[in-house]
Amino acid sequence: FGAPYGNRVSGVVDMRSGDPLQTTPLAGAGFNLTHGYAYTKIPFAQQKAQFIASVRRSHNDFWRTPTFAEYTRRVQRGSIITEDLTGRAQDLRIEDDFQFVDAHAKIGFRPNPQNDIAVAGFITTNQFQDSIFNILSTRRRRDTLRLTNVGSSLKWKHNWGKGWATTLKGVY
pLDDT higher at 29 or 134:
29
Convert the pLDDT of each residue in 73-95 to its tens digit. Answer: 666 655 554 444 444 555 667 77
Give mean pLDDT, residues 102-127: 93
pLDDT value, residue 41: 92
The rounded percent of the chain whose pLDDT value lies above 90 is 40
The answer to whether residues 37 and 29 touch, using CB atoms and an 8 Å cutoff, is yes
Convert the pLDDT of each residue in 123-160 to its tens digit. Answer: 999 888 777 777 777 777 777 888 899 999 999 999 99
pLDDT value, residue 15: 61
d(CA 41, CA 64): 31
The model's confidence at residue 16, banded by pLDDT at 50, 70 and 90, is low
Note the pTM of the prediction, 2 decimals. Answer: 0.71
pLDDT value, residue 75: 62
Give mean pLDDT, residues 162-166: 92
Q: CA–CA distance from 166 to each of 13, 98, 114, 115, 159 (Å)?
A: 27, 43, 10, 10, 7
The H or E element spanning position 77 is: helix 66-82
Amino acid code (one letter) for 100: F
Give mean pLDDT, residues 48-58: 92
pLDDT value, residue 84: 47
Q: Max Cα separation, the chain? A: 75
Give mean pLDDT, residues 21-26: 84
pLDDT value, residue 1: 40
Q: Distance between alpha carbon 170 and the CA centroid of its chain, in Å?
A: 21
pLDDT higher at 82 or 101:
101
CB neighbour list of residue 94: distance below 8 Å, 6 or more residues apart: 72, 76, 130, 131, 132, 133
pLDDT value, residue 74: 67
pLDDT value, residue 73: 65
Locate the DSSP E strands across 10-76: 26-31, 35-44, 49-58
d(CA 42, CA 166): 27
